[in-house]
Structure 1
Amino acid sequence: MVYAWELEKVKDWTTNKIKNCIWGESIGQSAPGCVSVEALRAELVRRGEEPVGYHNT
């Protein structure tokens, strides 16, 4: 489940920051502000990007 506050928080993040956060989650680092990976992926899809981090995570 993606919360509206998460989407609001990540809307101004760069695509690189979002992808770094997704990749970071795969190695045990949490995203800033406790944003979920689902929210990060949703934002990438909204931007027309593939919903994956670096290294296809």
Structure 2
Amino acid sequence: MRYKQFGRTGWEVSEIGYGMWGMGGWSNSDDQQSLQSLQTAVNRGCNFFDTAYV
């Protein structure tokens, strides 16, 4: 995973973000599938998560 600095915060944020749309009830994914996908993203170095309320 590659990272970029987030503005002037000094935080290193993954270039690839994980959208939480499915975990918010906007898809037909079940809880187990959502947790497995989230864990895979974390295991691969993702630390940017889009939790915007749409």
Q: Indicate the structure (1 or 2) with the bigger Cα radius of gyration.
A: 2
TM range (shorter): 0.3 to 0.5
Task: Judging by fraction of residues, say which structure has more helix.
Answer: 1
The TM-score normalised by the length of structure 2 is: 0.39
